[in-house]
Amino acid sequence: MKKYKVALIGCGWIGMGCELDPFRPKPASHAEGITQNENLELFALMDINESALILAKNLYPSVPVFNNVVDLFNYGIPDAVVIATHPDSHCHYIKLSSNAGVKLIMSEKPISHNKDEAEEVVELCSKNSTVLIVNHVRRFNQLIKDFRGYVNNQYVRDTAIGKPRVVTTSYDNGLYHGGTHIIDLLRFFLGEVKSVSAIKNHQVPPDGDDIHVDAILQFEECNAMLYYVNSRECAVCEFNIIGERGLLRFRDMWGGTIDLIGTVTNLYFVNHRIPDYSTVRSFNNSKSMMPDTYKHLVSCLEGTETPLCSGADALLTLQVIKAIETSANSNGKVITLAK
């Protein structure tokens, strides 16, 4: 069995540190996601932060560590590179990895906060024939993929919820950090965004250069309502597709559990049909997204699959975020996205 060599750039929280959280579903980190996949070998670790390298040496004493990319690639060119650094350096490391001849790159989301920079690296990867995956993890999850096919009538002639009418969903930790996951999930289920309208949410000050907004996104078949929640207060981490005969509720971090809920006539208002919570069908998902993520990475290395979230996909999600930000800065002006 062939083992692919993977280098991890970024040994901070999601790269490695969150594995030490005893309550977090395992594997929690990219480092463990790599080591627990039988087709992958953790080839090298790199971080510019000395304390992160000390942690890396303690957790993976047999894996070489480096404090810069030049030394890493002088040591050897891996089959794949995973980038788990701060968003402002994602494109920098994508560019260096692609130019070094790395076959496949998986970058954490968002691809960038800067649209021009993102477009540049997507074009570079295409020119260098580098496979680029952006880690919008829910696209890789098998149960979520199955329900996407269900909603879009790929596997059945008539779904239990019927035609989607509206979607309501939340995000946390800022539009660029948490919102990018949910906007990408909306696009995964509903197609491309036609227009957006947004207003700023002033309840909790955002961190750094991120923003908090509430928005309406117009799709071809229905609209989606996106709202910010403070996960330190009440984390309503749900993605709800409301159809003509019922609803799908993606809960537990937007997909840890998926509920299929039909409707029943309201006993007191007989012209109303309401969710029938007495007959909920629940589908439990893997709490860790890492196994399916790295299964997909291996399939892309083997050439049996193409990226479910390519650089071009991530760029489209970034364009939606930029349109939402523009609308919020213009007091809700409707922004139409280019086709």
Averaged pLDDT for residues 267-274: 95
Q: What is the pLDDT of residues 68-115, one digit of tens each?
A: 999 999 999 999 999 999 999 999 999 999 999 999 999 999 999 999
Domain ranges of the chain: 4-134, 139-287+319-329
CB atoms closer than 10 angstroms to residue 325: 20
Specify whether the CB–CB gap between 137 and 289 falls below 8 A.
yes
The model's pTM: 0.95
| pLDDT confidence tier of residue 126, bands split at 50, 70 and 90 | very high
The CATH code that applies to domain 4-134 is 3.40.50.720
Q: Encode 29-62: b = buried (16+ Cβ within 10 Å), e = exposed.
A: bbbbbbbebebbebbbbbbeeeebbebbeebbee
Report the sign of the C-alpha dihedral through residues 47, 49, 53, 56, in that order: negative
Tokens of residue 208, six digits:
């750094």
What pLDDT score does 157 carry?
Answer: 72
Region at 254 (left for phi over 0; alpha for psi -120 to 50; beta for the rest): left
CATH topology of domain 139-287+319-329: Dihydrodipicolinate Reductase; domain 2 (3.30.360)
* Mean pLDDT, residues 118-128 taken together: 98
Cis peptide before 27 (omega within 30 of 0): yes
The residue among 256, 122, 138 whose CA lies nearest residue 186 is 138
Average pLDDT, the chain: 96
CA distance 317 to 153: 24
Question: What's the confidence (pLDDT) of residue 152?
Answer: 86
**pLDDT tens, 282-325?**
999 988 999 999 999 999 999 999 999 999 999 999 999 999 99
What is the structure's pLDDT at 218? 98
Q: Which residue has the higher pLDDT, 154 or 296?
A: 296
| Residues 22/23/26/31 CA torsion (nearest 10 deg) | -50
81 touches 98 (CB < 8 A): no
Token pair 């594995």 is found at 19
